[in-house]
Amino acid sequence: MKYLVRALLLCLLLLAGGRLHAETCTATASSVNFGNVSPIAGTAVAASGTVSITCTWSTVTLTPSVQVCLNVGATSPRLMSNGTNTLQYDLYQDAAHSLVWGSVYNGTTPIGVQLNKPATGTSATTTVSYYGLIAANQPTVPTVNNSSTVYSQGFGGNQTSLNYGFYVLIAPTCASLTTSNGTFPFTSSATVVNNCLISATNVAFGTAGVLRSSLAATGSISARCTNGDAFRIALNGGVSGNVAARTLQQQGGTGVVSYQLYTDSAHSIPWGDGTAGTSTVTGTGSGNAQAISVYGQVPAQATPAPGSYSDTITATIVF
């Protein structure tokens, strides 16, 4: 009879242990992809991801609630990288990007979620969102090999930790749950693209009575291209449609004044579209605005009727 009682006690202990181990949680995270990002735009870029949490209880349990804590490591602000190049961003718990998603292991705040055992069944599932924001004003982040370039940061097993504690009435704090019960790896990524912004100032020759000698004037083109982005700037023929023989047209009249635009101050290299003996201007972006001078010259010629003369040139940047 003594041995039978001991055997029954052993069975009860084994059953109790089985029920204890049935209280578990798992988590799966989606990656966050910011899509195409143009650093020269100077604006912040937002994206979001989700984490799915499932907790399972034994059929009979004394702990019907659970505190789940999602810990993500890496120093804030975080960095996506491509080789030695980096892009600053961070991950947040809220859409307002005010609370950084952190980890109890480095003294910051993880995402905390509470679940309760359902009235029917033994499992409960919930999905929580997390939010990413690429910081604004990072104009010098480069592309590589003059191509769209993927930047990323991976959060593997050593960077994520699923901690949880089942309870009856009072939920444990995330700070007190320091034992990892699993991971939920994911990746943050963004594609930095080549882009250019262009603007120009006028080439103004001023006022002249007669055109017995040449007139010179200088304008400029501002090109702001992604760091590492090769670009080429062409100028069209204006009203004349001829890059080799541009003309200023009289406003409200029929008079014309011949002139030309050049890439150099010596007025030796006509700036056009690469045809009819003209050249284009090439360069490589730095992420910051680059000023490129446009040199204009009106050669000596027969003076047309008095009036205001102008031409409209379109600058096209190819990258």
Q: Domain ranges in the chain?
A: 25-192, 196-318
Fold adopted by 196-318 = Immunoglobulin-like (2.60.40)
Q: Is the peptide bond before 64 cis (omega within 30 degrees of 0)?
A: no
On the question of pLDDT at 17 being above 90, the answer is: no
On the question of pLDDT at 101 being above 70, the answer is: yes
On the question of pLDDT at 244 being above 70, the answer is: yes
Run of H or E residues at 195: none
pTM of the model: 0.87
Section 88-99 average pLDDT? 98
CB within 8 A of 298, min separation 6: which ones?
Answer: 205, 208, 211, 214, 215, 216, 248, 257, 258, 259
Section 295-317 average pLDDT? 97
On the question of pLDDT at 50 being above 60, the answer is: yes
Is the fold of 25-192 the same as that of 196-318? yes
Section 138-157 average pLDDT? 96
Section 160-179 average pLDDT? 97
Alpha carbon separation from 252 to 255, 256, 308, 309, 311 (Å, rounded): 9, 11, 9, 9, 13
Residue 5, pLDDT score: 34
On the question of pLDDT at 16 being above 90, the answer is: no
Question: What is the C-alpha separation between 51 and 8, in angstroms, rounded?
Answer: 43
Fold adopted by 25-192 = Immunoglobulin-like (2.60.40)
Residue 22, pLDDT score: 76
Say which DSSP state 227 is in: B
Share of residues in the chain with pLDDT > 70 (%): 93
pLDDT band, residue 12 (cuts 50/70/90) = very low
